[in-house]
Amino acid sequence: MTDQEIKQWLEEHQNESVYDLCRKDAFKCNLPWANTFKMAKDTPEYRAAKATQKAYNDECSRLDELFRAKLRSDYCNGVPVEVFNKAFSLAWERGHSSGYGEVANCFDDIVDSLKEVYWLGFTNGKAAR
């Protein structure tokens, strides 16, 4: 997705929290997934299944990107991307097996502490050394 597409999506959903969107399954991929593991290669069925897999993977990537953008928009405006990325990485490790809602819960638990640690490293707007 382009930055403009993400920005437009965020504007369309600005009155909804990431939790509201998770409850609506806004980040759920509704495309079919095809299992190609036991298919003979170089057949029309295999090529069709690979195309189905690609469409599914592309949609999942798009939804992941929107989820990350919504979390950043809801929690981390004005915070460096490195702080957001670290909080997201920790939250993803802890919660992704239970879905986006749990990742958001974990992120909520982590991000304030990381922001505080980050801002403590600054004195008078300059990085403390």
DSSP string, 64-128: HHHHHHHHHHHH-TTS-HHHHHHHHHHHHHHHGGG-HHHHHHHHHHHHHHHHHHHHHTEETTEE-
Q: What is the pTM of this model?
A: 0.84
Per-residue pLDDT tens over the stretch 36-94 = 888 899 899 999 999 999 999 999 999 999 999 999 999 887 788 888 999 999 999 99
Per-residue pLDDT tens over the stretch 16-41 = 999 999 999 999 999 998 888 888 99
At 127 the pLDDT is: 55
Q: Which of 9-23, 87-101, 103-117 has the lowest mean pLDDT?
A: 103-117
Domain ranges of the chain: 1-75, 79-129
